[in-house]
């Protein structure tokens, strides 16, 4: 099932080679003693080296389960059924042993989630947690060197102005925005090929949200990392992603370059999403996050006929 090391390095090195290639992915999760939900249905998705990809859709559409499948973080129950293929740097990961997934999470995929407190160790100082991330991705996990300079550098890169103080703090001593930046530092400290950010700013208030998004944007650019940004917020994805996948009911219903999808949405659900962003901007609640060039596209959505009717058509087909 898995390819050889030389296959892998050839793929990683190749310009525009797929870093992540998902084909026909379906995920069924148990929800009770004898019940289950088909959370992801026949999903195809590609992330190339250096590319920024957005995955957008309403709550429950299957975005997080797709992201977790790509990070090897699905629940471990034998009743979880995964079908299809997930190739990372050329290696098939569906059915791969836990050790292979550990390797992927240590070196290839850095993750940023919505709720940093769940992912930070409450009893360990922040600096040590960043250092552990550096060490886990270094050859032979070498603990010989003092990592404090690197820790400070990553905390600074993640937009923390007082990295020495933050390094000495415990997670509970920091604000929500600072903790989210610590997660960013931990993610980038392993110099991953891909940053997988699942609703990274949903729990933050609007102004902090903008600053954290800008930091993710800048670090991805500076490090030349690929990005998979998962969000229910089309405006956030529009701002950050080159290409977007729209998910609805566990399926990808539309994908393409972000501008194309926004300018000429093919699927009724994408049109409905666009319209909801436009109506939010009418209330001025998310205007701050929409780049001026895209406001024109949202205005276009005005001329599209009723979302409800469109969506029913979409379901029926
Ligand atoms: N651990 C789990 N066990 C059982 N069902 C789950 C689990 N995680 C997600 N689901 C179900 O899978 C479906 C897809 O959920 P998913 O979390 O991927 O949606 P989402 O698009 O990311 O939305 P949200 O942003 O609200 O999480 C939903 O029906 C959800 O209830």
Is the domain of 247 the same as that of 315?
no
Antiparallel, parallel or unpaired: β 226-231 and 52-56: parallel
Atom 1, ligand 1: residue with shortest CA distance: 75
Q: What is the pTM of this model?
A: 0.82
Question: Does pLDDT of 292 surpass 80?
Answer: no
Looking at the 3D structure of the chain, how many domains does it have?
Answer: 2
Is the domain of 172 the same as that of 297?
no
| pLDDT score at 102 | 92
Q: How far is the C-alpha of 110 from the C-alpha of 95, rounded, in Å?
A: 21
The answer to whether ipTM exceeds 0.95 is: yes
Q: Which residues pair with 247 in a beta bridge?
A: 252
Task: Supply the range of the domain harboring residue 279.
Answer: 264-317
What Å distances lie between residue 208 and 70, 146, 160, 180, 287, CA to CA? 28, 32, 12, 10, 15
Residue 87: give its domain's CATH number: 3.40.50.300
Question: Does pLDDT of 97 surpass 80?
Answer: yes
Q: How far is the C-alpha of 317 from the C-alpha of 80, rounded, in Å?
A: 29
Is the domain of 276 the same as that of 255?
no
Ligand 1: atom nearest CA of 199 is 25
Atom 30, ligand 1: residue with shortest CA distance: 60
Is the domain of 231 the same as that of 270?
no
Contacts of 95 (CB under 8 A, 6+ apart): 1
Domain boundary among 248, 263, 278: 263
Identify which of 61, 65, 73, 114 to mutate to test ligand 1's pocket (most ligand atoms within 8 A of the CB): 65
Question: Does pLDDT of 108 surpass 70?
Answer: yes
């Amino acid at each position: 099932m898995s390819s050889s090391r030389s296959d892998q390095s050839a793929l990683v090195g190749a310009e525009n080679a797929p870093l992540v290639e998902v084909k026909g992915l379906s995920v069924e999760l148990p929800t009770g003693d004898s019940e289950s939900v088909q959370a992801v249905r026949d999903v195809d998705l590609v992330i190339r080296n250096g590319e920024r990809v957005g995955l957008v859709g309403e709550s429950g559409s299957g975005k997080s389960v797709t992201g977790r499948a790509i990070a090897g973080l699905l629940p471990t129950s034998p009743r979880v059924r995964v079908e299809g293929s997930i190739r990372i740097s050329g290696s098939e990961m569906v059915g791969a042993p836990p050790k292979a997934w550990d390797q992927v999470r240590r070196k290839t995929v850095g993750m940023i989630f919505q709720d940093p407190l769940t992912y930070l160790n409450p009893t360990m100082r922040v600096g040590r947690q960043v250092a552990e991330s550096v060490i886990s991705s270094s050859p032979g996990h070498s603990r010989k060197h003092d990592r404090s300079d690197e820790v400070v550098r990553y905390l600074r890169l993640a937009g923390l102005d007082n990295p020495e103080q933050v390094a000495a703090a415990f997670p509970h001593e920091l604000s929500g925005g600072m903790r989210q930046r610590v997660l960013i530092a931990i993610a980038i400290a392993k110099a991953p090929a891909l940053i997988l950010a699942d609703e990274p700013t949903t729990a933050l208030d609007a102004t902090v949200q903008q600053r954290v998004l800008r930091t993710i944007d800048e670090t991805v650019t500076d490090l030349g990392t690929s990005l998979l940004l998962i969000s229910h917020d089309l405006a956030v994805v529009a701002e950050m992603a080159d290409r977007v996948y729209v998910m609805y009911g566990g399926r990808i219903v539309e994908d393409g370059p972000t501008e194309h999808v926004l300018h000429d949405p093919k699927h009724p659900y994408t049109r409905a999403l666009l319209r909801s962003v436009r109506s939010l901007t009418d209330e001025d609640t998310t205007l701050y996050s929409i780049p001026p060039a895209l406001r024109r596209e949202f205005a276009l959505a005005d001329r599209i006929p009723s979302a409800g009717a469109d969506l029913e058509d979409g379901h029926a087909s």
